[in-house]
Structure 1
Amino acid sequence: MEKDIFNPQNYTVLIVDDLIQNIQVLATTLEAKGYSITYALSGKEALQRLKAIQPDLILLDLLMPEMSGLEVCEEIRRNSDYSHIPILFLTASHEEEHLLEAFEKGAADYITKPFRTAELLARVQTHIQLKYQTKKLRESENKLNTIVTYIKDGILIVDHDGVVQFVNPAALQMFDKSFDDLLYHELGIPVVVGKVAELDIIRANGVLGKAEITVGDAEWLDKKVSIVSLRDVSERNQIERKLRIALNKQKVLSQKLKKIANTDPLTGIFNRRHILSILQEEFKRNKLYDQTFSLLLVDIDHFKSVNRSYGNPVGDQVLQEITIFLGNCLRSVDMIGRCGGEEFLAVLPGTTLDGALELGESLCSRIRNLKIETRAGFVQVTVSIGVTVYSSEDSNDEVMLKRVDDALYKAKELGRNRCVFN
């Protein structure tokens, strides 16, 4: 398998901010890693800059005079020449209420001011890699489509029920059927697995002929399927091998793309978008089967003071060590993701309120006594935890998320370093 080597020198980043000081900070950090930098001081200037150069990623200030970042994002997404470029919003913590609208308009992610060097570099690299993995996956799919469309062999992909999920033009001609007559219908012919069988077909010249039929097992769209190859020549093994290689490469690229899209680059756990999608699915499952589950919302107390006292690199170490500690305290069925700068959401299937409270209080106590070894020496922190449990009266997962957020707020109001349920 070829190894992907990420080289920042191959990529250009466009920084859009009305404050030159912010641009200077970002440019200095990114240029030190090797990125090429271009910049604009307004939304209109950014749109003009795109006509001259196509960057690999855009860092876009959320709130700017005259033309806001949201308006710039909307203009870029309308233009098919630029719509593939990932946009990361630059936002202050008090502007986070605008982020939902930003994601709706096509933002890929956001970075909070003041900028954290490690997180900035991680998010920029992640989204550039995500963009190019998406491109490689698309190219792989196009190559696969070209193979099966233009070869003279008939190719069908059939699920375990014998229903045709894909058919190429050569197979349609051999069966003398239309797409509507064959696709999503049962194949209707005997399939001999592991043996070679013969089948009557219609040749290109309209004459009745014989084709050899071979069957191979594969995975397609994460399902077990059979590849049915129809040939009136003797090259079936070569075609099947090429098709299998193409399918395997597409599967590997798809899995790699999925991992990048779902992972927080600094901590290695699920990112906000994915943990919220897990919460949504868990809510639907419990609603359907009348079961229960709980949520923990964990926040590191006074984390900004850790950054001020020791510096952002130490703050990053603390975040990573707390992430590892939380993961070790959870069961294999539990799921955890990073929801914000120092905030983590844990989804606990089958856990009652008593069980979630017991876990939350244990985490508070154990983290309180935890000595985290960093480059600046040992650091100790505490956490505040909000807890809630699923209720059959909850209309959707957002109700639970609001409730656990309120519980965390109460824990902070009561002095932090504690676990509170709501």
Structure 2
Amino acid sequence: MVVYESEVLACLEFPRMERNTLIKHDKILIADDNVSIRSTLKNLLVQNHYIVEDAGNGIEALQKAAVFSPDLILLDIIMPDMDGLKVLKTIRENHHTQDIPVIMVTSQDKGKDIQTGFELGANDYVTKPFDADLLLAHIRRHLQIKKRMDQIKNEKEDLFVTNQLITTLHAKKKTRDILYCLVQKISEHIQVKRCSVIRIGKNMSEGIVEATSDGPEIQDLKIDLNKYPEIMEALQRRSVVVIPDIDKDERMSMVREILHEIGCFSLMVVPITHGDDLIGTLLLSTARSKETFNEREIRFLKGISNAAKSALLNAQVFESVEHNDKTAVASFDSLTNLCGYYSFLEAGEKEIYRAKRYKSHLSLILIDINQFRKVNEIHGIEKGDQALRIIGRLINESIRKSDLAARCQGDDFAILLPETSLIGATVQAKRFQKLAFKNPTLHELGVSVQVGVSSMEETEVQSAIDLIHAAEIDLQRQKTGPFAL
């Protein structure tokens, strides 16, 4: 796949997301054996838009900390079964909970208990009876600190993954491989069920899946965008669209059952733009049922895409050079100064059409060097190339201006003869065979040629390949006949 510069850059420039799209409410765990205090704290926190769980003893607090994954814990010191200090010690020893900020809420104003709490890893403390505004200020402060620490930790992790991906991408030469590697790594790192890059068609109603994390074999898959309401909305608004819960979103009513079948519960679509042009989308789906996509994941997508820019541009240059090389090989064979095989086939199609339309003759000569491999083995590749050059020169010297000669594959050559009957082509083929036989250099190298002839007179022809195939059959017959050289 050749990706032009505008398309390459388009895969990398993500527009700003709407800030209110991804609101994440902080989660707080209250651990206190006093039912009245737990109720008061819970009502206060819920009114301030926090998600709250509570526990009546130390063991329950540890269990809920593991399952609920709170952003902050309000921890009473004096509790039955396991006191707050032991709970705190266990929290700090657990890899999954060790970074959760803990505020001790205690009626004890004893310096020793507070000191022990700080030594065990408490972040702060408030005393009962507490002032609601002061408690909320403490909570906000520690949540802000935690968010900043989490951001630093996540950025470090994302940077590590991005650097790994850059190394991998630069080792790949094909844009298709780069795009697949990109969607696969995105899918793994932010734990989505599926990630796809979709190019938008000219009429804005058709999309082409260029790469998807479902597998490298899925490519150039056309989709009807009218069946993807989330993509259509992202295209119209030119902004990120997030569907947190497909069961609660009316836009997904027509496709809800299909999404359920593939285990998809939430979606995100990121429009891909280049300047004012809308090129495509990055479509992500997830099986998460409680959490939707967050701002960190959006930042990661931007960073990883920008980091891949140079690799994609390098691949574009490589493919452009490779494409030009293939075009050159297809149109001209520099070793023999003859036409390239694919250009020969294209010209053959035109000559066949002309011959059919005007009911004229068209024939083909196929030339094969006998046991050419032995020439290379005995005399070396340079001498083999010399033999090919001589054959090419002899062909050019023996054909008419209206004829077309090409090097087909390896040591095979073909000559297309417009306005020439089968008899005329046979005469010319034998003449060339003798010409090659008399060449002193070819004779010294032990090189001889065999020829086969075909014509539209004798063969039902639909393409140039049909003429070549018929000539191959004749060539094999000539090799075993009485006049073989």
TM-score normalised by the chain length of structure 2: 0.34
RCO higher in structure (CA 8 A, sep ≥6): 2
Give 1 or 2 for the bigger CA radius of gyration: 2
TM-score normalised by the chain length of structure 1: 0.39
More strand by share: 1
